Copies of this chain bind each other. A is one copy, B any other.
């Protein structure tokens, strides 16, 4: 079915000739070819919402960086927008929501998505799949419910998301209603991505690390678990950034792959997770700022720690915008060479 299905086999724990590799945020930012399309699109949102353009930048890293998977170019915030809270992407500042959820009455402003609102994503997936023509699999994705909740209640990026966390304490009932709506919307969204052609899906819980262990269990895990239970069609990856104290329960999820950030200790994580799941990650993206020699050294060191276990190579975070694409390529090439020896 695919010329290169390494990543699907690695996710399922099947034998692989070498470690597959892709890079979070590979589609975008670092590539001059991306910046050209982005400029022509006029705005980030126009790029996300125009299937031909979104598909084009999705495929670019496969052509240019020779990664083992494409990931659909989109944004986790398309879900809250489809639910009724439109966002703007403010240059150099990040996302901003004019309307946020702060009280029960605000729930009347939002709805569970039907699926059709995000037709442009599914269309982009179809175009990208056609353009990939079986070279490598395509990854779909969504934000985890807690992370989407953060943006829907805080309204913008934050170091502490104290407004979001305030709501958990002030109105746990409302919080759970909202998390439920997000969870069910996300399931519908991911299933449509899969119907359109996504070969695996990843859930990004970018703000997992700001909750206490207890609150992560109470508010974040039920939605993740429900999503894992509901998506049986393709392998699922859970990337809960910074959720160090909840690793045991993440390890118990019915998912195929667990994403690791660069702060996580590989031996410790493998010990907790056991051998029946694939781990994805976790080179510090800042390694790519160093010399090529050091990139090779650090990449090999990482591969050695994962050696003999189920592994998909990646960075431990999205690649930083000012990273030299040649250095990204050096990371990718090193994974391929060193792991196939």
A interface with B by C-beta (< 8 Å): 157, 159-160, 162, 165-166, 168-170, 209-213, 215, 242, 244-245, 262-265, 268, 284-287, 289-290, 294, 316-317, 320, 322
**CB distance A170 to B215 under 8 Å?**
no
Contact residues in B for A242 (Cβ distance below 8 Å)? 209, 242
Contacts A160-B317, A165-B286, A284-B215 given; indicate if A245 touches B244 (C-beta within 8 A): yes
Contact residues in B for A320 (Cβ distance below 8 Å)? 160, 162
Q: List 12 A-B residue pairs with CB atoms under 8 Å apart, sorted by A's residue number.
A: A157-B159, A162-B289, A162-B320, A165-B284, A165-B289, A166-B289, A169-B287, A169-B289, A170-B289, A209-B263, A212-B263, A213-B263
Copies of this chain: 2
Contact residues in B for A212 (Cβ distance below 8 Å)? 262-263, 284, 316
Contact residues in B for A157 (Cβ distance below 8 Å)? 159
Contact residues in B for A211 (Cβ distance below 8 Å)? 263
List 11 other contacts, CB 8 Å, given A162-B322, A209-B209, A210-B263: A160-B317, A160-B320, A162-B285, A162-B320, A165-B286, A170-B290, A213-B263, A215-B284, A244-B245, A245-B263, A245-B264
| A285 to B210 Cα, complex, angstroms | 11
Contact residues in B for A316 (Cβ distance below 8 Å)? 212
Contact residues in B for A268 (Cβ distance below 8 Å)? 245
| A263 to B207 Cα, complex, angstroms | 12
With a 10 A CB-CB cut-off, give which of A159, A165, A286 has the most chain B CB atoms: A286
Shortest Cβ gap from A159 to chain B (Å)? 6
Shortest Cβ gap from A215 to chain B (Å)? 7
Shortest Cβ gap from A19 to chain B (Å)? 20
Contact residues in B for A165 (Cβ distance below 8 Å)? 284, 286, 289
| A312 to B162 Cα, complex, angstroms | 24
Contact residues in B for A215 (Cβ distance below 8 Å)? 284
